[in-house]
Structure 1
Amino acid sequence: MKVQERIETALDQFLARGESSVAPPRLQEAIRYSVFPGGARVRPQLVLAVAAACGDDAPEVSDAAAVAIEMMHCASLVHDDLPCFDGSELRRGKPSVHAAFGERLAVLGGDALIVSAFDALNQEASAHPTRLVALLNILAQGVGVPSGIIAGQAWECEDHIDLAQYQRAKTGALFAAATMAGAAAAGVAHEPWRELGDKLGEAFQVADDLRDAVSNPEDLGKPVGQDEALGRPNVVAARGIKGAVSYLKELLAEAMASVPACPGEEALRELLMKQAAQFLPRELAQEAA
């Protein structure tokens, strides 16, 4: 089974387990709507890539880890789009969840995905208690305070923001959780994989800042120019387009150099390099060609 198909199948199966005739039907519909169809599934792919490089001796655990990470990511998008934050009416080329189902169901659907992420780990990793404990801690730290994605979102409510700290939390934290979760799911030490996730996450955020500045809504599937319109701190504003592109390349080089020694190190680095080549927005890649 191809990685993308493996991820979609696992997500569908885990969501189906939580669906019931006794649950509010529109809430269940909103939850599925927020997950399918998905984006590039970068984070769960990263989980499975690291798990594979480390042996992937318990694929049911790595599947659950990938699902948990993606559910958290989808929940963050639902909440990020809410009127109290970005007020975005478009996500992944379709109406955002609050635009399609209303604000109340968007809040509840995002909350449900957060709980379901932990439930997915508990269901599939309970036979590997040491791995389960590690995965629960990784997920909690990647999402909560002081430096998870919730803290990252909360920095937007502050008067003074440290750009690096803000982006490490808002984007980097879940990337670091993805690389560490892949290692933990395979039963190996996860802390050495933090730096890879940190660097990839920061690079992805720089790429996202660039897309917001130079792309169009049709290609991106969501509004552009949001950073400037909302006054959010971003790398393009701090460094300019050329400076941001240069910084992106620097981060990607550091990420490749940080891959820990593992059985599948060479294959993993090759895969990451292919994915990293897609980070640069199409408009800028065409200029560089």
Structure 2
Amino acid sequence: MSISERIETAITAALRRHQGKSAPPRLGAALYYACTPGGARIRPTILTSVALACGDDQPRLTDAAAASLEIMHCASLVHDDLPAFDDADLRRGKASVHRAFSEPLAVLAGDSLIIAAFEGLIRAAEIDPVRAIQLMAILSERSGMPNGICAGQGWESEEKIDLSAYHRAKTGALFIAATQMGAAAAGQDPEPWEELGARIGEAFQVADDLRDVLLDEEELGKPTGQDDRLGRPSAVSELGVEGASARLDAILAGAIASIPSCPGEAMLAEMVNRTAAKLAPRVKTDRPNS
């Protein structure tokens, strides 16, 4: 079974547990809508790739971790799109959850997905209790305060924003979770994997800042020009298009150099290069002449 097949199977199984005859059908439908069809599934793919590089001796635990991480990511997107935050009409090329189902159901869907993410890891504790607890600790640290995606969203309400802390929390946190959870699922020390996740996360954020400026809504699958409209800090506003593009190249090179020694080190280098190919070429292709 391929990595993508493993991920989709695990996510479907996790969501199915939140359906039932006594469950409100529209909220149940909103959970599926928020998570399927998926985007690139970059975070769970990184998690599974790291686990494979470290031996993947408990694949069921790896799959549960990958599903939980992606479900948490999807929950954050549902909340990000709400009128109180981005007020976005589109996500992944279709109507955002609050547009398709109503704002109250979107709030409940996001909340339910957060709970589902941790429930999946609780259920996985029967496979290996110690590793499952470690996975829960990593996911909670990278989802809440002071270093998780909640902190990232919170920076947007501050008068003065620390751009590095903002990007590391808002975007980098779940990428750090991906590399650390992949190592933990395979029974390895997660700490040496933080830098790789942070670098991939920073690359993703810089690329997203560039795409927000250079691509149109149809290509991006969500509203464009959000950073400028909402007055957010971005790599483009700070460095310009050319500077941000150069920064992206440097980050990706550093990411490969930061891969910890492991049996699948070469495979992970290829994975980072594939990620770079998804991020960089379209930005460079669409870059306006200077």
TM (normalized to structure 1)? 0.97
Show the counterpart of 2:280.
Answer: 280
Residue 54 of structure 2 is aligned to residue 82 of structure 1:
no
Whether 1:157 and 2:151 are equivalent positions in the alignment is no
2:8 aligns to what?
8
| Other-structure match for 1:195 | 195
Q: Does the aligned pair in 2 maintain the 1:207–1:281 contact within 8 Å?
A: no
1:59-138 aligned within 5 A: 59-138=59-138
The superposition leaves residues 180-222 of structure 1 with CA deviations (integer Å, 9 ceiling, x where unpaired) of: 0000000111110010000000110000000001001111110
For 2:237 and 2:113, locate their aligned partners in 1 and report how far apart those are by CA, in whole Å: 33
Residue segments in structure 2 that go unaligned for 5+ positions in a row: none
Deviation at 1:278, TM superposition (A): 1.5
Is residue 51 of structure 1 aligned with residue 51 of structure 2?
yes
Q: Contact conserved, 2:78 with 2:97, CA < 8 A, in 1?
A: yes
Residue identity in the other structure for 1:51:
A
Structure 2 counterpart of 1:174: 174
The DSSP-based 3-state class of the residue aligned with 2:88 is coil
Native 8 Å contact 2:209 2:234 kept in 1:
yes
Q: How far 1:76 moved relative to its partner?
A: 0.6
Match of 2:26 in 1: 26
Identity value in percent = 56
1:210 matched to 2:210? The reply is yes
Q: What's the counterpart of residue 259 of structure 1?
A: 259
- Which residue of 1 is the match for residue 183 of structure 2? 183
SS at match of 1:187: coil
Q: Which amino acid aligns with 1:245?
A: S
CA RMSD of aligned residues (A): 1.2
What is the one-letter code of the residue matched to 1:163?
Answer: L
**Length, aligned pairs only:** 288
Superposed displacement of residue 17, structure 1: 1.5
Task: Report if the CA contact (8 A) 1:215-1:281 is conserved.
Answer: no
> Separation in 2 of the partners of 1:280 and 1:18?
38
- Compute the displacement of 1:127 (Å): 2.8
Contact 2:176–2:201 at 8 Å: present in 1 too?
yes
In the alignment, residue 247 of structure 1 is paired with which amino acid? R
One-letter code aligned to 1:157: S
Q: Using structure 2 for the length normalisation, give the TM-score.
A: 0.97
Is this contact kept in 1: 2:215–2:286, CA < 8 A? no
Change (3 A) 1:208 1:90: same
Runs of 4+ in 1 over 6 A off after TM superposition: none
- Residues 44-67 of structure 1 show CA distances to partners (whole Å, capped at 9, x for unaligned) of 000100000000010000001101
- Read off the aligned partner of 2:96 and give its amino acid letter: S
The 3-state SS of whatever aligns with 2:145 is coil
| Structure 1 gap ranges (5+) | none
Secondary structure (helix, strand or coil) at the match of 2:106 reads helix
**Paired residues of 1:176 and 1:194 also in contact (CA < 8 A):** yes
SS of the residue 1:280 aligns to: helix
The Cα shift of 1:125 comes to: 3.1
Work out whether residues 49 and 182 of structure 1, in 8 Å CA contact, stay in contact via their aligned partners in 2.
yes
